[in-house]
Structure formats: C-alpha cells, structure tokens
Structure 1
Amino acid sequence: MTVSDVYHPPLFSIAPMMGWTDNHYRTLARLISKHAWLYTEMLAAETIVYQEENLDSFLAYSSEQHPIVLQIGGRDLENLAKATRLANTYAYDEINFNCGCPSPKVSGRGCFGARLMLDPKFVGEAMSVIAANTNASVTVKCRIGVDDHDSYQELCDFIYTVSSLSPTKHFIIHSRKALLSGLSPADNRRIPPLKYEYFFALLRDFPDLKFTINGGINSVVEADAALKSGAHGVMLGRAVYYNPWHILGHVDTVIYGSPSSGITRRQVLEQYQVYGESVLGKYGKGRPNLRDIVRPLINLFHAEPGNGQYKRRTDAALLHCTTLKSFLDEVLPAIPDFVLDSSVVKESTGREDLFADVQRLLPPPYERESQNHRKRGESLPTKPVTRDEE
C-alpha cells in the first residue's frame, strides 16, 4: 500500500521552514486542515546520525500529523543512508531532499542545499541512496537555478539527470533562483524574480514527472489557480505561517472539495492546550518551553478584532506564565467571543489570474540530454546499481 492509497494527494503542502515548522506548528496546522501535507524543518543528516540516542526530540510526531514529509539535507552519502534508516522508525510518508536552501550556513560551509543544484549527478546518487534505505517515497525540493546557472536548459538538465539516475519522480520547484553570495535567505525569497514560466515549461517537457510549485503564492485562491493551470501541487510557506486560520481553514474545502469541519478557534485552542500541556518540558527542563509551544499561536487571530491587544498580552504573559492553560486564560480575553466561536467564513483573497499569461512566456522546449548524447555518440546515463549501505 502506498501513501496515495491512504491520504489525499499533495495538492497543497506547507513548506519546510527552519525554526517554524516544528512539531508544535504542525500540530496546530493539522487541527485546522485535515488534508494539507506537512513538512518538517530541514534536518541535516549529520544531526540525525549524531543524535541517534536522542531522536525523539527531533523526529517524533503524533499520528494525527499524517501525511507528513521529513526533509533532510546533506552531502555525505553514508550519513544520508544512515539518517534515512534511523528515520524509518518514525514512518514518515515521504522523504524530501533539500536542494533549495540558500542559507550560507547550508550552501557555504555545509556545501549542500541550493549549491547541490550545481552537481546533479551527486543529487541523483544521493536520491538513489535515500530510496534504497526507505520504503517511503522520495522527492527533491530545489530552485530554478543558482547564481549565473539560471537558464531553463540548466534547470532541465538538473531535473533530467536526477530523475534518470534515481527513483525521483516528484520535484518541488521554488520558482526563483538562489543567489549564494551577498543575499540573506530572506532576500533570496524576495529579490530574485519569480519565473513561473520555467515551472510550467517543466510540466510540458517532463510529462512523466510530477511538479509542485512554490514561491510567491499567498492564498488559497492563488493555489487553486495554480492547480487549475496544470500544477500537480502547490506549496505555501510564510503566508500560511502568518495567516494560518484564513488560509489553512479553506484548504480542505477549496483545494480538496471536502465539507467544512465547522471547527472554531476556541475548539482548536482547547485541543492544542491538551497537546501543549502534554509536551511541556518533555525532553528535559525547558525542552520545549512555554514560549516554544505558544509561538505557533501568535498569528492565529491575524487581522481580527483584538489581535493587537492579544499580541501585547502574549508578550507580557510569557514573562511569568508556566502552563499553557494559564497563558490562554490571560491572553484570550482580548479576543471577542464572536471571533473565537466562528468557523472559517471569510472569503480568501488573492489573484485568480496570477498565471493567466504564463503560457505565452514559456521558454523553447527542452532539448533532452539524450538527444545531445546521441549527437555526440555517447552513452546515456544509467541508474546506478543499488549498494548495500550496511
């Protein structure tokens, strides 16, 4: 039985975000949406390997979080293999390999993340190693290019090489290139221009693969527009984090066609309180602490009456509250009852025409590497023989 037999397909995913998509945030997200696919923060393979005796604090999650994807990063094949085997105990539905993070800590000293797009043969080998050590599906998250290596041809070379050398059949494409020198990760999400035409050209040129679009999509309306334009899936990141109720609250109905659960934010908080009290200090004093558990709740009342006072009370309450119940008792009086007790009814806004002109901007079709090899009389790349990594 495959994950597609158990869960709805990954039409909508929440992006892996360092410091944000931790166990606490994913718990809140799942209370609001039953079908959105959740991603962990990126975990370096070395972290998993070196923390073998303490894996629960990094990899454990509740069964309600399915479908859930573990994102790992790294460049050492032996550590990638061992990390994958160690993660098997936790039964993630997919394992995603990070080839898109532009952080200097990752792409510089770590020599992985977006920098790996410059070495597609290694990525293909890494994906084969990961796949050989798990029964979960394997996927790659990448950019459309790196620095001056940003042509559509080079992007296609990367996709073709990785998919030819490994079982990878699904790519999550952040539709901006990464600039590895001179830009912060935040600027890399804002300054390089979006090139949605590259993403939609991949749909045309690789009909046997699946592609999820990421970058610059800020609402369920825009996610729905991407799906209607042909994307196999849509991934949102910070937009969901900053406005979880009014985005995730529409995912199940708009994206998946399910009836509304009718859940209210008061009910969400009642369930989250049970979770929060159960994990407070679970891994030792202050791990996690109350601030960690409260962080996902900060934006739950985005743009609602009382939100400003709620946030001010949050800052004050975290200075002295020791339980989630005492925290909620102190901050929730700032929110009117009609806000706490209403289900998601506000219309989600966004540009329905975000991709209206993309087809006329498509680059010329990719001249597949196979054609180039045949012209030169070279042999095609073949999938490597799977090695026993024990």
Structure 2
Amino acid sequence: MVDVTTAHFLHLCRIISPNFTLYTEMIHCNALVYNPKDLYNFFGEPWEGKVVQLGGSDPKAMAKAAKLVQDDGYKEVNLNVGCPSPRVQKGAFGAVLMKTPNTVVEIIQEMRSVGVTIPITVKCRIGVDEFDSYEYLYDFIKLISTTTGVDHFIVHARKCWLKGLSPKQNRSVPPLKYEVVYQLAKDFPNLTITINGGFNTTAHIREQLSLVDGVMIGREVMDRPMFLATVDASHHNVLPENIKTTEEVVDEYLDYVMTEYERGTPHSNSIVMAPLKMLYGGRRGKEYRRRLAALIMPRTKPLPEIVRDMQQMMQEMDFAGSGSGAESDNDNDNDGNVPAQLSACA
C-alpha cells in the first residue's frame, strides 16, 4: 500500500468513518531519522487509531524512528515484516526479516530500551520462500511474543516468494490459507491475532470475527473507500442517517485540502487529490474520474482553483440527485456491535 495509504488517504477514510484502526504506508526508518521534523508530512495529524508502519532492519535506526513517532504524538507503531517488494528485499527488511526472527527481536528490544512505551505490533506473512511450515510460523510468533512483550500480530494469510513473483503477484498467486491464521489464534489465546487478505464483503468479515480477534481490510478499501461505510452499517451498528453520503465526504475532504494548503503542506496536486478518485463506481464513476483527472492538470494549477472546479463539477454531475451514497454489498443484516478490531489499509 506504499503510495496509496498516504496521510491524505487516511484522512479520507477517517471522514468516511472514525470507527477503524488505520495503518499508514510503510516508511523506512532512515527517512524519519534523517528528516526528524517532517513526520507530519509523512503521516499527517496524529490521532487515536492511526498506526505508523515502519520498515528497516537496523535496530538502532528503527528505535530512533519509533521514538520520533512517539514523541510526535502518534499512539502506536507497527513493524512491517510482510512486504515483499524488490526495494525491501534490497534493503533486507520487510518480509526478509521473517527469515531472521532474532533481528525482529533485537529491533523491538532496542525500541523499548530507548523509551518507546506506545504499543508495538508486528505485521507478517504466514511464510516466506522455503520458510513456510506452520512450525516455523509458530516458533516465529512464540519467540517474538515471549521475548519482547508484543501481543498483537497482523497476519497476511498468504506466504510470499521473494524471488520469482512481483509484489502484485504476491497478492494473488500464493493461495490464501486462512486456516493457518485460525490455528495461530487457537495456539496463542493470550495474543491478539488479526487476519489480513482478500476480505471484500461484510459476510466474509463477520465469519472471520468468530475465529480471530480482528480483520484488516486493504485492497477493497483502496478500490472502494466507501466500503468502510458499508462495514459501519453491518458491524458497528451505525444507523443509516448517521452514515455520510459520498457527496458529504467529498465536501469534507475538500475542506481538509484547503486547510492543508493554507498550512503549507508540501505535496503535489495529484497526491492531495488522489484519494478522491475511487469514490464512485459504474459508468458515472468513470466519467467522474475522467473529469477529476482533467481538473488536476496542469501540475502548476493552484490548488484552490482545483478545489473550486471540483465543487462546480460535483454540482454539474448532481450525484446527490441520483441517490448515491454508501454502496451495498447485498449483505444488509445488522448483527449489532462486534467486539473485535476492524482495521483498514494494509
């Protein structure tokens, strides 16, 4: 989700619903260590429920980065040991760290030694390359949890191949093995186990919450952010009249854009406006995205002009008059408040 779950995208998600734990894109620890005054530009405003994902393999640099995150007011840090991209392989972090669990332990212990007291969680795969047996995963979780005190693991239910598959293929080619994560939850009843991978209906999410402690939703939220509103209706007992329409979400987001502009946050027009792209589906959604792309160009166009033109475009397209709103996934039964964690953005 690098370059997707930016601070701007997370703010859009929070406008849609405040009821989810949101994970930032993974940022390498050195980016923070070398730019300690730029954390707001990386992650946006700190709030309860925003988790900063860090990548890296140097325990001291990771510890410095985590301390900066804590000192700037962020409430939780996540160590990503599941990303399979070529960039993380070259830097020997991400999923590579699953091969060296002692390094993961050293990183977390170093974080604690420099005074990081906020929660630390670990996001991993069920396996990597030939290290894909359940015994290996069990030992990995046991070592980290017993030596560091980490008690929350977010587990992507696919293994990954660091050689031979692209990051995109690693999201689809290795089969999903949910039963492996279910077994972890049984074997480690004192840990919080969140499952990740392929969840795109409220029925599928509900099924998981009877077997594990939480569900992380990634690609579905990227492709259809208003899915969060659908999950709200099904799992958080939010009444329809309290769910924002897509038009209300756009209006609030444009207010945020102007606030960031006046603050002087140094991001390009395309990055700031990108979160709005996938709010509408169908044929009207295609027209909406075509017109939005045209509004953003040229790159030198002042952001206030883009906001003004976007507001005019929304009036012309008159989505409100066509009865738009949170999309349904044909799963309308409401099971009330669910005592489990729902996370967005892998």
TM-score (norm 2): 0.88
Correspondence 1:239 to 2:220:
yes
Deviations 1:333-373 (A, max 9, x none): 2353334x6543x43247x9xxxxxxxxxxxxxxxxxxxxx
Helix, strand or coil at the partner of 1:306? helix
How many residues are aligned here? 325
Per the TM alignment, residue 282 of structure 1 is displaced from its structure 2 partner at its CA by: 4.6
Partner residue of 2:271 out of 292, 306, 309: 292
Aligned to 2:228: 248
Structure 1 window deviating more from structure 2 (316-325 vs 288-297): it is 316-325
Helix, strand or coil at the partner of 2:229? helix
Aligned to 1:328: 310
**1:306 alignment partner AA:** R
Aligned to 1:310: 288
Correspondence 1:23 to 2:17:
no
Q: Is the 8 A contact 1:59 1:90 kept in 2?
A: no
Give the RMSD, CA atoms, in angstroms.
2.0
Q: Is the 8 A contact 1:59 1:87 kept in 2?
A: no
Partner residue of 1:56 out of 25, 36, 40: 40
**2:31 alignment partner AA:** T
Aligned to 1:278: 259
Q: Is the 8 A contact 1:125 1:165 kept in 2?
A: no
- Stretches of structure 1 that go unaligned for 5 or more consecutive residues are 1-16, 353-390
Whole-Å separation in 2 of the counterparts to 1:327 and 1:135: 46
Whole-Å separation in 2 of the counterparts to 1:327 and 1:296: 17
The correspondence of residues 150-229 of structure 1 with structure 2, limited to 5 A, is 150-228=132-210
Per the TM alignment, residue 59 of structure 1 is displaced from its structure 2 partner at its CA by: 3.5
Q: Is the 8 A contact 2:79 2:121 kept in 1?
A: yes
Q: Is the 8 A contact 1:128 1:167 kept in 2?
A: no
Per the TM alignment, residue 121 of structure 1 is displaced from its structure 2 partner at its CA by: 1.6
Per the TM alignment, residue 139 of structure 1 is displaced from its structure 2 partner at its CA by: 0.6
**1:269 alignment partner AA:** V
**2:190 alignment partner AA:** D
Aligned to 1:40: 24
Aligned to 1:5: none
**1:308 alignment partner AA:** K
Helix, strand or coil at the partner of 2:120? strand
Q: Find runs of 4+ consecutive structure 1 residues off by over 6 angstroms.
A: none
Helix, strand or coil at the partner of 1:101? coil
CA gap of 1:342–1:262, structure 2 versus 1, over 3 A, is: farther
Whole-Å separation in 2 of the counterparts to 1:33 and 1:194: 28
Per the TM alignment, residue 100 of structure 1 is displaced from its structure 2 partner at its CA by: 0.2
Whole-Å separation in 1 of the counterparts to 2:110 and 2:318: 51
**2:49 alignment partner AA:** P
Helix, strand or coil at the partner of 2:329? coil
> Structure 1 vs Structure 2: percent identity of aligned residues?
35
Whole-Å separation in 2 of the counterparts to 1:62 and 1:158: 31
Per the TM alignment, residue 31 of structure 1 is displaced from its structure 2 partner at its CA by: 0.8
Whole-Å separation in 2 of the counterparts to 1:196 and 1:55: 35
**2:169 alignment partner AA:** D
Deviations 1:204-255 (A, max 9, x none): 1111111000011122321122112x2100001111111111x101232322
Correspondence 1:265 to 2:246:
yes
Whole-Å separation in 1 of the counterparts to 2:68 and 2:24: 16
CA gap of 1:50–1:281, structure 2 versus 1, over 3 A, is: farther
Per the TM alignment, residue 77 of structure 1 is displaced from its structure 2 partner at its CA by: 1.1
CA gap of 1:62–1:167, structure 2 versus 1, over 3 A, is: closer
Whole-Å separation in 1 of the counterparts to 2:133 and 2:126: 8
**2:313 alignment partner AA:** V
Whole-Å separation in 2 of the counterparts to 1:137 and 1:349: 37
Q: Is the 8 A contact 2:46 2:74 kept in 1?
A: no
Correspondence 1:140 to 2:119:
no
Whole-Å separation in 1 of the counterparts to 2:268 and 2:308: 14
Q: Is the 8 A contact 2:84 2:160 kept in 1?
A: yes
Whole-Å separation in 2 of the counterparts to 1:86 and 1:171: 22
Whole-Å separation in 1 of the counterparts to 2:195 and 2:186: 14
Deviations 1:170-212 (A, max 9, x none): 1000000110012111110011111111101101111111100
The correspondence of residues 339-350 of structure 1 with structure 2, limited to 5 A, is 339=322, 342-344=324-326, 346-349=327-330
CA gap of 1:197–1:262, structure 2 versus 1, over 3 A, is: closer
Helix, strand or coil at the partner of 1:315? helix
Q: Is the 8 A contact 2:39 2:72 kept in 1?
A: no
